[in-house]
Amino acid sequence: MSQVFILLDGDELTSAGAELATFGARIGSVTAIVCSAKSDAVVASAATLPIEKLIVVDGIDFAKSSLRSVSNVLAELVKRDAPSALLISSSARGKEIAARVAVRTESGIVTDAIDINDALETTQSIFGGSYTVTSKVTQGTSIVTLRSNCIEVASVTSSASVERFDGALLADTQVTITSSEPAQKSARPSLAEASIIVSGGRGTDGNFTLIEQFADAIGAAVGASRPVIDSGWYPHAYQVGQTGKTVSPQCYIACGISGAIQHKAGMQTAKTIVAINKDPEAPFFEIADFGIVGDLFTVLESAIASLK
Ligand SMILES: Cc1cc2nc3c(=O)[nH]c(=O)nc-3n(C[C@H](O)[C@H](O)[C@H](O)COP(=O)(O)OP(=O)(O)OC[C@H]3O[C@@H](n4cnc5c(N)ncnc54)[C@H](O)[C@@H]3O)c2cc1C
């Protein structure tokens, strides 16, 4: 049975990590690599995932160590065990680490995949979702970064074996991080991992009160189109689109967003798309599964009232 590495990247098990384990189990026997100061907690929470082995890396902390340190460790382990695939989540850090490991191990890489099958064929949705590309790495280990919200997480009872790996000697000596502070966490789910996103566009006129209330009522994250960011109505971290975040939630609710190609490029792989727009000709309706022609404030107010 082929061996698949996944990187569990943080101090807690994220839904993105759980998805990697589920994808990995399709391909073969999953070994999860944990680089965290809180590795015991990550190991404990991995017991519900289809993971057969955990390699706990001592001396390297994903949250605090430089990308080179994490890449050095992964490259060393890939060279040692020659797994058929290494799966990493498609965050900016994840993609940079994947690229570095690919170079060091002379392996092929596919980024931003939305699927991978047991024959290691990956699927990508590109050019704003207008093309679906299937590809397969032909050299070395298949190094693949996968977007979040692309597979239903398998829940199992597993008892993975644990190996401790000393990563201290592989730590980056050229750059040391002198201090780091986690960004203030909002009570809402993060854009990258949320299964529902409520996004507001220029049609909000900068008033996100109802967008936020509606998002909170349904446990969703808040997103925004670029004019919202450019006008200073919402921080850049919330921008969805070509020059913002790429998201793939179960449901994307666009409120007062016209549906320009650059916005759709960041969300077109959402499973269900809902558009609320007062203009019946708005391009968003062309890709929406459900469309509401109307004033977003009236629609959201009545939706919130019904939910209450
Ligand atoms: C290189 C490049 C990169 C870009 N990157 C991005 C990106 O990453 N993300 C992004 O979003 N854009 C991006 N853009 C901008 C993009 O082209 C569009 O201009 C932008 O997406 C439009 O945002 P919008 O739909 O919010 O605004 P508009 O196009 O102005 O649309 C506002 C919509 O709100 C509707 N509306 C108004 N009032 C109401 C109301 N009360 N109730 C209901 N509906 C209402 C209107 O009918 C209209 O459809 C980029 C552009 C370029 C050139």
Can you give the pLDDT at residue 155? 79
Residue 296 CA, closest ligand 1 atom number: 42
Taking the centre of ligand 1 as the mean of its atom positions, its distance from the CA of residue 183, in whole angstroms, is 27
Predicted confidence at residue 171, as pLDDT, reads 84
pLDDT over threshold 70, residue 163: yes
pLDDT range class, residue 250, cuts 50, 70, 90:
very high
Q: Is 47 left (phi over 0), alpha (psi -120 to 50) or beta?
A: alpha
Structure confidence at residue 127 (pLDDT): 73
The predicted model gives 110-132 an average pLDDT of: 90
Residue 101 makes CB contacts below 8 A (sequence gap 6+) with 71, 74, 75, 78, 86, 107, 143
Q: Which two tokens stand for residue 216?
A: 């909170």
For the chain, give every residue range classified as CATH 3.40.50.620: 3-170
pLDDT in tens, 33-49: 998 878 888 888 888 89
The CATH architecture of the domain made up of 196-307 is 3-Layer(aba) Sandwich (3.40)
Residue 235 φ then ψ, to 5°: -70, 155
Distance of CA 256 from the midpoint of ligand 1 (Å)? 8
What integer is the mean pLDDT of 189-217? 94
Query: What does residue 287 show for φ and ψ, rounded to 5 degrees?
Result: -110, 0
Nearest to 63 by CA among 41, 85, 31: 41
Ligand 1: centre distance to CA 193 (Å):
23
Residue with the nearest Cα to atom 26 of ligand 1?
201
Bigger pLDDT: 5 or 61? 5
Tell me the residue length of the chain. 308
* Among 246, 294, 236, 287, CA closest to 266: 246
- CA-CA-CA-CA torsion for 278, 130, 228, 294, nearest 10 degrees? 10
- Would you state the pLDDT for residue 128? 65
pLDDT of residue 54: 94
Where along the chain do the CATH 3.40.50.1220 domains lie? 196-307
Residue closest via CA to ligand 1's atom 48 equals 258
What are the phi and psi torsion angles at 52 (to 5°)? -95, -25
- β strands within the chain, DSSP E: 3-8, 29-34, 53-58, 85-89, 109-116, 121-126, 131-136, 142-146, 161-166, 196-200, 221-224, 251-255, 272-277, 290-293
Instruction: Record the pTM.
Output: 0.71
What atom of ligand 1 comes closest to residue 201's alpha carbon?
Answer: 26
Residues contacting ligand 1 via CB (< 6 Å): 201-203, 225-227, 239-244, 256-258, 260, 262-263, 266, 276-279, 282, 295-297
CA atoms within a 13 Å half-sphere pointing along the CA-CB vector of 82 = 3
Query: Which ranges constitute the DSSP H helices of 10-141?
Result: 15-27, 39-45, 67-81, 92-105
The CATH number for 3-170, chosen from 3.10.450.50, 1.10.10.10, 3.40.50.620, 3.30.1370.60, is: 3.40.50.620
pLDDT at 126: 80
Structural tokens at position 136:
């397969």
Counting ligand 1 atoms within 8 A of each CB, the residue from 199, 243, 245, 273 with the most, and so the one to mutate, is 243
Q: How far apart are CA 181 and CA 203, in angstroms?
A: 35
